[in-house]
Every structure is written in structure tokens, then in C-alpha cells.
Amino acid sequence: MSQLILRHTLKPKCSLPWLIYALVNLLALNTNSQTVLTVPKQVSLSANLSVKELTISWFGGSASTFDLIILRTEFNTTVFYDTISAIINHTSGRHEWKWTSAEPLECTSLSVRIRSRDGHATSEWSETVTLPGRDLPSINALQMYPLDSVVEVGSNVTFCCIVEEGKTFKDMLYGKTVVTSTRLSRRSYASTVVNVKPTNLSGSNVVCRLNDLSLTGAVMFVGYPPLPSDFVCETQDLISAVCHWKEARDSHLNGGRRKTRYSVNSRKCDVDRLPLTCSLPLWDGNWTLMAVNNLGHYSLSDSAELSHRVRPVAPIGLSSIVHAWNATLMWEWTSEGYHTLDLNCQVEFTNDQSKPRNFSGVGLRSVLLSGLYPDEAYTVRVRCGAQKYFWKWGDWSQTLSFKTKPDVSDAPDVWMWMNKDKTGLVVWKPLSHHQSHGQITGYEVTLWNPEDVEQHTQILPPNTYSVQVNLREMASVGVDKKVFATVIIKTITGASPPSRVPLQFIDEEPSALSKCVFNNSRISLFWQHSASNTCNYLVEWLDASCEHDCPVKWIRVAAGSTNLSIESENFQPGVRYNFSLYSCPSDSPQLIKRWQGYTQELVPSRSVPLSVKSQDSDVVITWGEIPLSERRGFVLGYNVYISNRF
């Protein structure tokens, strides 16, 4: 509390009226008098139509609290009435407050009044200020707001339709659905679409219909704010940076001003298609991606040393130096920095299923591809990665096709079939292209006796895999003399190593024939190995009913083996096959074991040849064997059925 201090220093000349005047003034200063609140003046309205935001500003004296009322002008309907706290713009000295409307601000005129408040005390209302809408009589047109709006998924969006003077409003449609409408003024109607779903590229239509079939409309685009992910930067030329990212979800906002705009370190990125990338001329080491669209923004950051983020460019200028069994593959780099870079490179053969081959070296520009096949077409491509701090494989190069040079063929796999009359067949297996090493021009078959200089040679065309022989035509062949057949394959590069087979009739039969086991489309054979036998084996099979010039099949088996499974598409049900095991097939074949069996037994294809003869009071029944080719299974016995007919 203020105090009045009277001192005796006052001069006695001062009059009493003067003292009374001074006391009154001092007492007035210490009295709580009621202040009159200032009426807000110079109220101003500023509309941001795109976000439906109304900025209200005014001069309001010293007050910080105000009552504010907003009405729809034409129907005098209150849409907002509350006590607010307003900030002062220190530049203009005006109070400011922002209000967001549920409806577009174009829909109808809005009137605003303000008064100052201090507790229960209020000022007079300000003068009414009106924001004109588009429903004024002077604007006589059918209108729809907002136009081409962009909103977030799940939002509630209000549209308004302003009808022409004298016309009657009917309804509003969102897509094909009628939406409930509210009347805002004589000519303005509003409808709210709730919880909107994502739209397609062309958006969704909102249509206003009048009773006279007139209509207008707007398009709404519904989507999401950007949500980039997997942002990472790397270098390919060892100087610049290329940044990549993905979008974790589809924004559903595409084209024109609605699409997401990207920048890296404030540098605009022109992104029109996938993949999402942005190039910067120099390596920075720290990057920030900013993604912005109509609904928001999102940022991601990345940082790395250059040597840790090298993803090499694709090698260029592939070339090759080709040989029969290998080839040297060469390429070039577009940047000199690669000449001193430790690289791991992969060479992929695109025309087969083999794994890529790996190579490494400083500035790698050539590799030797070994283990190739002669006269074979290959298509290759190359990619590389940094060896020290491997980041990612670089891009694949363009493919290069080349063909290796031909070479002499592998030796043929030769076997024989000899008849009892010293005639027979020399047979050999067709070679695959990997075995022939080039184009076969023919075969050379020579019959010869080691003890004589006499030879019989035949030249056979390609696609020939057997030749008939007649040892009786060789004058030097005696009873005990061996005759060999040698087969050589001729190609454009020369002759293959020779393969020989002794031509002899093996007439011994084993003491017993074993039945072979057929299971799961395979014939399984088993035998005992003799320690004294150091040669390889050969298993031969043929139709058991064949007796002359038989088309044999065979397979070679390593020494020491005791079993073999054979699978062949040529096995036929109901056909008996003989399987023979020979040792030392290339020098002096010895029959070790023989099996018989069927892949599938069937009923005989003909009946038993039967004859009946009476002898006194007895009947003698006799029958013959069914030919082997018609037997179609092992005969286990015969059943005799007798029936009396009266």
C-alpha cells in the first residue's frame, strides 16, 4: 500500500488548499478504479481458400482475451462462438487468430464480430465484417467447391454446391452414392463424405444434380503422405553419388502437382519412373532425402565413406580370344579409377545352368575361362564388386557370344555281337556334341589280326553306329587266332583315339541263370567280385528271343564294382531280357554271370499248343512250348482242366 509521508520541510508559506489538492491526487493514485475495455477496431479478414483457413486480425488495445462469433451471413446461423486468446503480431501491432472452416470458404458469406473480455467485463462488439462467399446474387452460376481437392485417406471431406438463381437443388453424389446434404444459404448446399478411401489415378467424382437435370461436379484425390524407405547412396564412378530409395506404400497421388517431389541435400531430383534415384556430382558422405506431396513430407538420412559404397559400373567392350578348351575374356572400364581398384568379378554363362565363375585382381580386365568344350557356343556376361569393402555387385555387362574351336573327338565306346557262323556286328554308341568336339565326318572301322599284317578297313558315313563283319572272308583267320575291330571317329580336325574290341563268339553258358530284380523302373543286378580280377566290367543286355545280329545295349562298370542299376526307356513289358556280365571286355571278354528278367510280366499272347489222343481207355494229352517271344513271362507250371459234357 502506498504511503503518504509528510515532512516538516514544507515551507510555512504553503496554503491549505494546495495541501488538500495534493492529498486528493495521491489518494486517487492508490484507488482501484475500473478500466473501460477497448472495442476491437479495424477488423480484417484474410482467407486461405486451399486449406479453408480464415485469418482474423484487429486492434484490440491491451486486452488478451476476446469473444469471437462467426455466422453464416444470409441465414444468420452461428457456426462459431467462443472466448479466445489472441497473439499480437509485433510487426503490425494487430491481434491475430486463425479459424478453420468445415466447409469451403467459397460456399457462403461469413460475418465476424469481436469484443474484448476481462473476466466478466466485456467491451462493446466490433463492427460486423463479412467475407463474401460465391453465393452472392451477383454471381449467378452453378458452382461446386472445392475443385480438384487432395485429401488424406480416412478424412471427412465437405463439398458444397451453389445453384443458380431460380433453380432447385436435388442431391449430391459421391461416386454412385447419394450423400446427405445441409442447406447453408438460399443457393448453397453442403454434403460431407466420411472416411474416404484411396482413389485411382483419375480420382473420384462428386456430382451436384438439380431437378432440371443440370449438374456440376468436382474431382477428389485421396491418398497418403509420402513414406520413403531404404534410402542409401553409393558410387559407381568413384566420384559422384547415386542415391536410391523405395516408397513403403503407394501414395495414390500421381501426375501433375499431386505427385511426390523429392530432393537430396536440397537438390531437386527428377523422378518420373522406377527405380527412384537421384544423382549428385560429388561424393558428400552425408545425405538427407526429403519427400513432399500435397499431404505432407518425410525425410530420411544416410552417411558413408566412398570406399564402403562402391557398386561398379558395367564392364564395356567385351571381347575374347578363343581356343578349343578355353577362352580369354577381356573388357574395359569407363573410369580410370578402376585400374587401381581391388575387384571381385563374376562371369556368368547365360546359356547353361552352371554357377557364375569368380575371379579377383587389381583393376581386373581379363580372365581365363578354362574347362570349356570344343566347338561349343557360349554366351557370357560380367559384373564386378569391390574386393576390400564389398558393398554390392555392379551391373551386368552386355552379353558376348563366342564359339570355341573344334578338336579331335573322344574315343568311341565300342562293343560287338558275334554269331555262331563267325558273322556279327561291330557297334558303337553315338557321341554327344560334348564328346565329339566338332562335326563328325565319318567313321573308320578296321578288322585286324595281331599276328598278321592283313587288315580290312571300311569308311562309314556319319550317323552310322554299326557295321556287319564276316570273319570267314579273312583268309588269315584261323581257329585260334584273335581278330580285333578298331573304330576311329573322323572330324574336321582329325581322328579320334582308336577303340578296339575282340571279335569272338562267347558260347559258354553259366551253370545257372539268375533272375534279375525290377523295382521302380530299374533293373538291379548284383554279383560277387573276384580279387584276382583287375579289369573293368561290361554289362550287356538284349531281347532273349534274338539269335542272330542282335541289337545289343551295354554299359561299362568300374573294376571292383558288385552291383548295377539300369534304367532305359527302351525296356518293354512282356519282353524277356538277357543281361550278361563280362570282365576285360576290351582284350579278352570272359562271361562272369548272366541274368534273365522282365520289367513287367504279362499273360502269354497265345495259348498252349495242345493235342489229345485216345489210348485204350485212357486219354493222352500232349502240348508244346509257347515261343519265347509270345510267352511274356516265366512259366511256373501248367494246370490241366477236365470237364465232362453230356
- pLDDT tens column, 307-361: 999 999 999 999 999 999 999 999 999 988 999 999 999 999 988 778 999 999 9
Give the pLDDT score at 101: 97
Domain 228-308 -> CATH class:
mainly beta
- pLDDT single digits (tens) 398-415: 999 999 999 999 999 999
Above 80 in pLDDT, residue 14? no
d(CA 310, CA 333) in angstroms, rounded, equals 14
d(CA 156, CA 68) in angstroms, rounded, equals 26
Q: What is the dihedral of CA 488, 489, 494, 500, to 10 degrees?
A: -20
Q: Percentage of residues in the chain with pLDDT exceeding 90?
A: 69
The mean-pLDDT minimum among 4-18, 248-262, 373-387 falls in: 4-18
Q: Are the CB atoms for 45 and 56 separated by under 8 Å?
A: yes
Q: Are the CB atoms for 414 and 487 separated by under 8 Å?
A: yes
d(CA 564, CA 569) in angstroms, rounded, equals 17
Count of helix runs (H) and strand runs (E) in the chain? 3, 50
Domain 414-502 -> CATH class:
mainly beta
CA atoms within 13 A on the CB side of 636: 3
Confidence of residue 34 (pLDDT cuts 50, 70, 90): low
Dihedral sign (CA 92, 93, 94, 99): positive
Confidence of residue 641 (pLDDT cuts 50, 70, 90): confident
By C-alpha distance, which of 557, 565, 513, 512 is closest to 535? 557
- pLDDT single digits (tens) 84-136: 999 898 888 899 999 999 999 999 999 999 999 999 999 999 999 999 999 99
The residue written with cell numbers 484474410 in the block is 46
| pTM greater than 0.75 | no
Q: What is the mean pLDDT of the chain?
A: 89
CATH code for the structural domain at 316-403 = 2.60.40.10
Dihedral sign (CA 349, 350, 355, 360): positive
Mean pLDDT within 445-460: 88
Confidence of residue 25 (pLDDT cuts 50, 70, 90): very low
More confident residue, 7 or 312: 312
Mean pLDDT within 597-613: 85
Residues counted in the chain: 646
Mean pLDDT within 294-304: 97
By C-alpha distance, which of 529, 289, 582, 324 is closest to 436? 324
Domain edges within the chain: 41-131, 143-223, 228-308, 316-403, 414-502, 514-598
Q: Which amino acid is at 186?
A: R
Above 70 in pLDDT, residue 553? yes
Q: Which amino acid is at 536?
A: N
d(CA 67, CA 115) in angstroms, rounded, equals 5
Confidence of residue 587 (pLDDT cuts 50, 70, 90): confident
The residue written with cell numbers 447419394 in the block is 178
Confidence of residue 507 (pLDDT cuts 50, 70, 90): low
Question: Which option is the CATH number for 41-131: 2.60.40.10, 3.40.630.30, 2.40.30.10, 2.40.100.10?
Answer: 2.60.40.10
Give the pLDDT score at 478: 56
Give the pLDDT score at 588: 86
Domains 316-403 and 514-598 share a fold: yes
More confident residue, 30 or 100: 100
Superfamily of domain 514-598: Immunoglobulins (2.60.40.10)
Helix (H) / strand (E) element for 20: namely helix 16-29
Confidence of residue 164 (pLDDT cuts 50, 70, 90): very high
d(CA 43, CA 130) in angstroms, rounded, equals 10
Confidence of residue 476 (pLDDT cuts 50, 70, 90): low
Give the pLDDT score at 20: 38
| Burial profile 398-435: b = 16 or more Cβ within 10 angstroms, e = fewer | eebebebbbbbbbbbbbbbbbeeebbbbbbbeebeeeb
Question: Which option is the CATH number for 143-223: 2.60.40.10, 1.10.1740.10, 2.130.10.10, 3.30.450.40?
Answer: 2.60.40.10
Strand, coil or helix: 629 = helix
Strand, coil or helix: 531 = coil
Give the pLDDT score at 635: 81
